[in-house]
Amino acid sequence: MRVSYRMALLGLGVSVLLTACGGGSSTGSRSYIAGNGAVTFIKAQDRQSAPTIAGATISGGTFRLAPHHVAVLNVWASWCAPCRAEAPTLAALSKTFPNVSFVGVLTRDSVATANAFVRRFSIPYPTLVDDSILMGFHNSLVANAIPTTVVIDKNGKVAARISGEITVASLTDLITRVSAE
Torsion 18-24-27-29 (CA) sign:
negative
Q: Which of 57-61, 85-89, 130-134 has the lowest mean pLDDT?
A: 130-134
pLDDT in the model for residue 91: 98
Instruction: Tell whether the model's pLDDT for residue 4 goes beyond 50.
Output: no
**b/e 129-153 (16+ beta carbons within 10 angstroms → b):** bebebbeebbebbbbbbbbbbbbbb
Rounded to whole angstroms, what are the CA distances from 163 to 33, 50, 146? Answer: 10, 17, 8
Instruction: Tell whether the model's pLDDT for residue 70 goes beyond 50.
Output: yes
Rounded to whole angstroms, what are the CA distances from 159 to 20, 46, 151, 155, 156? Answer: 26, 9, 6, 10, 9
SS3 78: coil
Average pLDDT, the chain: 84
What is the Cα gyration radius of the chain?
Answer: 15
| pTM for this prediction | 0.80
SS3 7: helix
CA-nearest of 21, 18, 41 to 30 is: 21
26 Cα distance to chain centroid: 19
Walk me through the domains of the chain, giving residue ranges and CATH numbers: 2-179 (3.40.30.10)
State the Cα–Cα distance between residues 114 and 99, nearest whole angstrom: 25
pLDDT in the model for residue 26: 33
